[in-house]
Amino acid sequence: MDRGQQLSGITCRPLTGADIPDLVDLLTQLRPTILRQSGRRGYRALLKHILANRDGLAIVALDGGRIIGYVLGARHWSRFKGRFVLRHPLLGIGSFARRRRDRADDVGEPDFPERSDGPESGRIIHVGVASGARRRGVGGALYRAMARAMSELGLARMVAHIDQGNEASLSLHRAAGWTVTPAPDGFLATRGLHEPAADDG
């Protein structure tokens, strides 16, 4: 079965407000590191912030109307994060500051080398696919849609952090032609937005 057949019936489109409850359910199952300690409340606040903020980007994948995957991102990561902390000081400071206090704790956000997180970089906050929908090309399709959205904003590259030991994520990024290098707590993955993806075509 080729990739086109595997993906038949699956649509990727931008997140809307009506998707938030279902997407919060999926995030609660997959438990991305960012805002993890705040649970549903933190994930809901993050999604609303993405929708309300011109730096936020979110794409969902649907199968028969059901959300089966997502990719969340932001341009101008520092500005995006700063506005989140201003709007949600308790959630934001709890999540974003804790990492610096205790690097052994797995909450908060990973640190990025400054050079990879400049104004021309689009930051991937998290990509996730429901456990029953994996290895059908959904993660790759979400990344292609996010690459188009970031390109349209004039960004030059996408940047993602991969946690130590996340072999599925490492393979996904390598298969799609990202450059992966060791970084604190895992790997830094970057991909130029003017390069064709390895699985395009």
Ligand X SMILES: CC(C)(COP(=O)(O)OP(=O)(O)OC[C@H]1O[C@@H](n2cnc3c(N)ncnc32)[C@H](O)[C@@H]1OP(=O)(O)O)[C@@H](O)C(=O)NCCC(=O)NCCS
Rounded distance, CA 32 to CA 28, Å?
8
166 binding ligand X? (CB under 6 A) = yes
In the complex with ligand X, the residue whose CB is nearer, 3 or 54, is 3
Structure-token pair, residue 111: 């640190």
198 binding ligand X? (CB under 6 A) = no
Q: Give the residue at shortest CB distance from ligand X.
A: 139
Least Å distance, CB 191 to ligand X, is 13
> Site mask, ligand X, residues 51-80, x = CB under 6 A?
------------------------------
Q: Among residues 10, 127, 159, 193, which is the contact residue for ligand X, using CB under 6 A?
A: 127
Residues 131-150 that bind ligand X (CB under 6 A): 134-140
162 binding ligand X? (CB under 6 A) = yes
Rounded distance, CA 201 to CA 189, Å?
22
Question: Which pairs count as long-range contacts for 86-94, CB under 8 Å and 24+ apart, including other chains?
Answer: 87/45, 87/49, 88/45, 88/49, 91/35, 91/38, 91/41, 91/42, 91/45, 94/37, 94/38
Query: Residue for token digits 């205790």?
Result: 102
168 binding ligand X? (CB under 6 A) = yes
Q: Which residues bind ligand X (CB under 6 A)?
A: 30, 126-129, 134-140, 160, 162, 166-169, 171-172, 175
